[in-house]
Amino acid sequence: MLARAAVERTFSPGDIICCEGEVGRVMYFIVRGRVEIVKQVDEDTERHLHYAGSGEYFGEIALLQEGPRIATVRAVEDTTTLEIGQEPFLTVLGRSPSLGIRILVRMTSRLRDADQQAIEELRQANIELTQALRHLERLDRTKTDFIRVSAHELRTPVASLMGYSQMMRDNPMMEEHAELKALVDGVRAGAERLHRVFNSILDLSRLMTDGVEVRRSPVSLPVVFHGIQTEFGPALEERKLDLEVNGVDQLPFYIGDPDMLYKVFYHLVNNAIKYTPDKGRIEVVGQMVEADDLGQCIEIAVWDTGIGIAPGDIDLIFEKFYRTGEVELHSSGTTSFKGGGPGLGLAIAKGIVQAHGGRIWAESPGCDEETCPGSKFVVQLPIESV
Ligand code: ADP
């Protein structure tokens, strides 16, 4: 009966006999020749499953499941097949239980082989990925060490430069030489800027490599913000920015590292100043909140009416050296609008907040220099983790 229902076909080497994904309404017996069965991994790659030769058959899985073909079959030699449709095949299967069992046994062993092969490939891929990760970690460590050592070595002469320029600035002679005084001021401002960058690099490398030691003591957040308001006072005035601090006076003492926490809010307020056009507004709001996973927290949010942050950047800005938009290697002041910065402030803030068991995130409707939708940075510090 099968012989009557079968259609004979011949294929040349390279011919596709049936294709993965298409609905399989027939199965094939190989009368002569040899075929390769492959699976498509992606557009350019295929995975060899196995070869089949005369006397063997293929295509029965899609036929029995009435589903798409799970692999592609290609002739590797001149091949002749007998193509059998679903109906006659099922009839024969019904009449011959032993044929059914043989097909089942073969299907099971093929599936087992395919599983084994997939497991082996996954194991190999896993080994390669782990090796690549180790290599990248080694490279990252070397790079971080290089940056840290350079920053450390360069900070010392820069500190001398700051000291000597200050001594020159304090010399009474300077009062009579306005031009010289301006030059010395320029040297001093440049040296201070360099010093700040090196300090930020060292802060970050400490946070990343040594694991930070948080020296805990009671921190008065009103004092922290008073210091920040004083430090940025001249810049706020120059840029005609309004900085308001609300609710911080009512917060309890927080048991944490005062210097580190100062740095967190220093960087957040510095950024708010930097990314808000003149005459804008910055507001700091402090309150106690109950967070699902952190329990009772001190929450401090820094809002601004600045250019905002694009949704695609909102998480990336916390990565070290990440800056949005065009990276300009200019040396404009750290408080001028969109002034230059090394892209370290938020990475440092995040490292410090996490070392205190807290979290930090940014919110913004998007980035637009015309409409200035603004940004909000929120810090939550748990009281419990102390
Ligand atoms: P830096 O300010 O030195 O570039 P940061 O790590 O402090 O580095 O910030 C990373 C980036 O995040 C900035 O380059 C800026 O694009 C974006 N950003 C940070 N704060 C704000 C803010 N308040 N408004 C808009 N963009 C911001």
My answer on whether 16 and 87 are in the same domain is yes
Backbone angles phi, psi at 23, to 5 degrees: -70, 135
Judgement on whether residues 261 and 336 belong to the same structural domain of the protein: yes
Same domain, 159 and 84: no
Question: Are residues 305 and 281 in contact, defined by beta-carbon separation less than 8 angstroms?
Answer: yes
Which CATH number goes with the domain that contains 237?
A: 3.30.565.10
Tell me the C-alpha distance between 186 and 184, whole Å.
5
Same domain, 51 and 180: no
Q: Indicate if 194 and 224 belong to the same structural domain.
A: no
Ligand 1 pocket residue status of 343, Cβ below 6 Å: yes
The packing angle between helices 178-205 and 97-170, to 10°, is 150
CB of 341 within 6 A of ligand 1: the answer is yes
Q: What is the pLDDT of residues 130-161, one digit of tens each?
A: 999 999 999 988 888 888 888 888 888 999 99
294 in the same domain as 181: no
CA of 268 to the centre of ligand 1 (A): 9
Q: Does ligand 1 lie within 6 Å of residue 203's CB atom? A: no
pTM, rounded to two decimals: 0.64
Residue 130 within any structural domain of the chain: no
| Alpha carbon nearest to ligand 1 atom 14, residue | 323
Say if residue 245 is in the same domain as residue 347. yes
* 275 within some domain: yes
User: Per the domain annotation, does 123 fall within a domain?
Assistant: no
197 and 230: one domain? Answer: no
Decide which of 95, 118, 151 is a domain's last residue. Answer: 95
Nearest CA residue ID for atom 8, ligand 1: 343
Q: Within a domain: residue 336?
A: yes
CB burial of 257-293 (b: ≥16 within 10 Å; e: otherwise) equals: bbebbbbbbbbbbbbbbbbbeeebebbbbbeeeeeee
The residue to mutate among 204, 274, 328, 361, having the most atoms of ligand 1 within 8 angstroms of its beta carbon, is: 274
DSSP 118-161: HHHHHHHHHHHHHHHHHHHHHHHHHHHHHHHHHHHHHHHHHHHH
Token reading at 220: 């008065």
Separation between Cα atoms, residue 50 and residue 358, nearest integer Å: 54
DSSP letters along 334-380, please? Answer: TTSTT----S-HHHHHHHHHHHTT-EEEEE-S---TTT---EEEEEE
Ligand 1 centroid, distance to 361 Cα (angstroms): 12
5's tokens: 């229902």
Whether residue 369 sits in one domain with residue 239 = yes
Tell me, yes or no, whether 244 and 186 share the same domain: no
Q: Are strands 375-382 and 359-363 parallel, antiparallel or unpaired?
A: antiparallel
> What is the pLDDT tens value at each position of the chain, 386 positions in all?
555 668 899 999 999 999 998 888 888 999 999 999 998 877 788 888 889 999 888 888 888 778 888 889 999 999 999 998 888 888 877 777 787 777 777 777 777 777 787 888 889 999 999 999 999 999 988 888 888 888 888 888 999 999 999 999 888 888 888 888 888 988 988 898 888 888 888 888 888 776 677 888 999 999 999 999 999 999 999 999 999 999 999 999 999 999 899 999 999 999 999 999 999 999 999 999 999 889 999 999 999 999 999 999 998 999 877 776 654 444 456 788 887 777 889 999 999 999 999 999 999 999 999 999 999 999 999 997 54
Residues 203 and 225 in one domain: no
Number of domains in the chain: 3
C-alpha span between 189 and 157 (Å, rounded): 15
Nearest-5° Cα angle at 126, 123 to 128: 115
Domain boundary among 208, 236, 254: 208
Strand partners, 367: none
Output the residue whose Cα is nearest ligand 1's atom 21. 271
Residue closest via CA to ligand 1's atom 11 equals: 323
Distance 34 CA to ligand 1 centre (A): 63
Q: Is residue 112 part of a domain?
A: no
Residues 295 and 192 in one domain: no
Task: Indicate which CATH number applies to the domain containing 39.
Answer: 2.60.120.10
Residue 116 forms part of a structural domain: no
Show which of 208, 233, 252 is a domain's final residue.
Answer: 208
Nearest to 365 by CA among 307, 316, 285: 307
- For residue 276, being part of any structural domain is answered with yes
- DSSP letter at 197 equals H
Q: Does residue 114 sit within a domain?
A: no
Q: Encoding tokens for residue 335?
A: 């408080």
Helix (H) or strand (E) holding 195: helix 178-205
Gap between the Cα atoms of 301 and 307, Å rounded: 17
Distance between CA atoms of residues 364 and 378, nearest Å: 11
Which range of residues forms the domain containing residue 272? Answer: 217-382
